[in-house]
Amino acid sequence: MSQPSITAAEFGQLPDGQAVQLFTLTNGQGLEARISTYGGIVTHLLAPDKNGQPGDVVLGFDSVEGYLSEAYQEAGPYFGALIGRYGNRIREGRFSLDGQEYTLATNNGPNHLHGGLKGFDKVVWQAEVLVDPMPGLRLTYISANGEEGYPGTLTVSVVYMLTPDNGLRISYAATTDQATVLNLTNHSYFNLSAGASADVLGHELQLHAGRYTVVDDTLIPTGELRPVAGSPFDFSSPHAIGTRIGDVPGGYDHNWVLDGEDFRLVATAHEPTSGRTLEVYTDQPGVQFYSGNFLAGTLTGKHGTVYGKHAGFCLETQHFPDSPNQPEFTSTVLRPEELFSSVTEYRFGVKS
């Protein structure tokens, strides 16, 4: 195997002339990640299969134009991107904090989704290369007070680092100068077959979660944390994603209440043909398992692949949706004297 490395290349330009860079990280053990300064997007992620053959296990595009196209904006899948300020939904784009009401864009039916009209997925981040102990990329973005309606100047930094044991580790940090709300995640779509299978219905998934947040028909939690036992949401032992998806109207797009706390294994996926496995570790209380229900074959990505329904799945580690309006959920408030920090790792392996 080669030495760990990190290199930079041009990825393209935004319509306003801003240059976008693409960084390539390798860990010397067969894992390679490419990350764009636009949106902090993981555009490529190469992991070995059971025969040691590398394959690209995430959905995305080869150039920045793919992420800027009208078809992409129309579909809004957030491929591989950093999501903020608030990942997932806030009911009717409203919340109050310390007696003050805030109004955000409603960009998902009646609700606010993934930070609004121009979230962290659509801004250019400042990049800094890290080499010790492993190749890493620090991305920093300063979100102005009032941006997308959120209070406080928020300074966010995200470090992507490859670990020696084939993990892509994402460390989030943030500070604010005024009380605000925050829910950061990454929106990678995985297909561990690396293009061999057009959908992920054959992937076996296990989620270490005994409950999920029940939602209304606009995907806002009702407040009920319901046991998964005896339902199609029960992934406490491995199940193929496709086995019971027909019993979930629209497909999986829900937040699971993860067992335990601190940094721990919360999910494992296995694709039987390639043998690839994905383990997800996080310190977050929830994960949105989204089965790519809205992909509709309107986008053609890398390797000429048409992304149809269920072409990839997301495991978005997060606080529960609509937490700013649900006092019984773990708080997503960040205050000036606090440092927000969180870590999620996607670790790849093989199993026959």
| Cα-based angle 345, 328, 257 (whole degrees, multiple of 5) | 35
Question: Minimal distance in Å, beta carbon 16 to ligand GLA?
Answer: 25
Task: Please identify, using beta-carbon distances, which residue of 78 and 340 lies nearer to ligand GLA.
Answer: 78
Task: Please identify, using beta-carbon distances, which residue of 24 and 107 lies nearer to ligand GLA.
Answer: 107
Q: Which of 44, 187, 270, 310 is catalytic?
A: 187
Question: Minimal distance in Å, beta carbon 109 to ligand GLA?
Answer: 10
Does the N-terminal peptide bond of residue 133 adopt cis geometry, omega within 30 degrees of 0?
yes
Question: Minimal distance in Å, beta carbon 331 to ligand GLA?
Answer: 21
Q: Can you tell me whether residue 92 is helix, strand or coil?
A: helix
Question: Minimal distance in Å, beta carbon 88 to ligand GLA?
Answer: 6
Task: Please identify, using beta-carbon distances, which residue of 43 and 166 lies nearer to ligand GLA.
Answer: 43
Amino acid (one-letter) located at 20: V
Residue with tokens 């590398």: 54
SS3 percent helix, strand, coil of the chain, rounded to 5, is 10, 45, 45
CA 75 to chain centre: 17
* C-alpha distances in Å from residue 34, one per residue of 22, 187, 193, 328: 6, 15, 18, 39
* C-alpha distances in Å from residue 123, one per residue of 8, 20, 181: 18, 10, 19
203 is annotated as an active-site residue: no
The span from the CA of 303 to the CA of 4, in Å, is 25
Question: Minimal distance in Å, beta carbon 143 to ligand GLA?
Answer: 20
* Interface residue list for ligand GLA (CB under 6 A): 76-78, 88, 113, 253, 288, 290, 294, 314, 316
Which tokens is 148 given? 């997308």
Q: Which of 147, 148, 316, 345 is catalytic?
A: 316
The span from the CA of 326 to the CA of 280, in Å, is 26
Residue with tokens 């010397």: 28
187 is annotated as an active-site residue: yes
Which tokens is 316 given? 């978005």
Task: Please identify, using beta-carbon distances, which residue of 268 and 288 lies nearer to ligand GLA.
Answer: 288
Task: Please identify, using beta-carbon distances, which residue of 299 and 314 lies nearer to ligand GLA.
Answer: 314
Amino acid (one-letter) located at 13: Q
Catalytic residues, by residue number, are 187, 316
